[in-house]
Amino acid sequence: MNDQSAFLQLKEDEREIRKAIIIKATFKLFKKKIFHKIGMRDIAREAGVSAASIYRYFPSRDDLFVEALIQEIKKIKIKLKKTLDCGQNTLDDLAFVVIDYLIDNESTFQLMCHFLTRDEINYRVKNKFIAAQAYFISFFDEIVQSTEKKNELFFSKAFFATLTGVVLTYIHYPNATKEQKRQYMHNLVSIIIKTGNPDL
């Protein structure tokens, strides 16, 4: 590698490190407030950089948020894989991992809903989200088919849509603790799985 290539690689590495710092600051803020109320200035303050410098790496707040969501998708994927590696390989096991992750990381769930339901998102960001969504659904499809031998068309897509629908419906259910809501969602999903798979 010549000096110019080494310099360019160093610049690219530095860029990736700065992006990682900004995304990490975003996650810290997610623990303090809901993402709708987080602005680029808040993120800049948390990351210890100027707001203007963030725009060098992320042209808009949605560009930053979709990158953060991609990181979260990777974490859910790792959790699902660990569940399988531990021998927990039923539809209930997979469902509980997804539901628990979305309950425990509500900002991630809000981000997901943000990109799923908003129409006016920048075309570039929307395409990035669609690609990330397709990547995760493809992985989820492989897991579901390998564990439950489900080969019906669209089964895993319908299954994942059911899980997110259950979380959306009950995550803010009134007069219930977080753990009560979690248990209720687990029970509900188990009933749905059993109803759709009477042989299980």
Report the CATH number at residue 89: 1.10.357
Same domain, 67 and 151: yes
Quote the domain boundaries for residue 72.
61-200
Same domain, 160 and 173: yes
Q: Which of 58, 75, 105 is the last residue of a domain?
A: 58
Same domain, 48 and 94: no
Report the pLDDT value the prediction gives residue 78, as an integer from 0 to 100. Answer: 93
Question: Is residue 26 a contact partner of residue 68, using CB atoms and an 8 Å limit?
Answer: yes
Nearest-angstrom CA–CA distance, 151 and 136: 18
Summary mean pLDDT of the chain: 87
Same domain, 52 and 103: no
Same domain, 182 and 98: yes
Same domain, 81 and 156: yes
Q: Tell me which of 163 and 3 has the higher pLDDT.
A: 163
Same domain, 42 and 65: no
Report the CATH number at residue 33: 1.10.10.60
b/e burial code for range 58-75 (CB count within 10 A of at least 16 → b):
beebbbbbbbbbbebbee
Same domain, 81 and 151: yes
Same domain, 110 and 129: yes
Nearest-angstrom CA–CA distance, 31 and 11: 31
Q: What is the dihedral of CA 79, 85, 88, 92, to 10 degrees?
A: 40
Same domain, 197 and 184: yes
Of 4-8, 46-50, 78-82, 102-106, give the lowest mean pLDDT range.
Answer: 4-8
14-56 pLDDT tens trace: 878 889 999 999 989 988 887 788 999 999 999 999 989 899 9
The structural domain count of the chain equals 2
pTM for the whole thing?
A: 0.84
Same domain, 143 and 73: yes
Same domain, 102 and 175: yes
Nearest-angstrom CA–CA distance, 157 and 140: 8
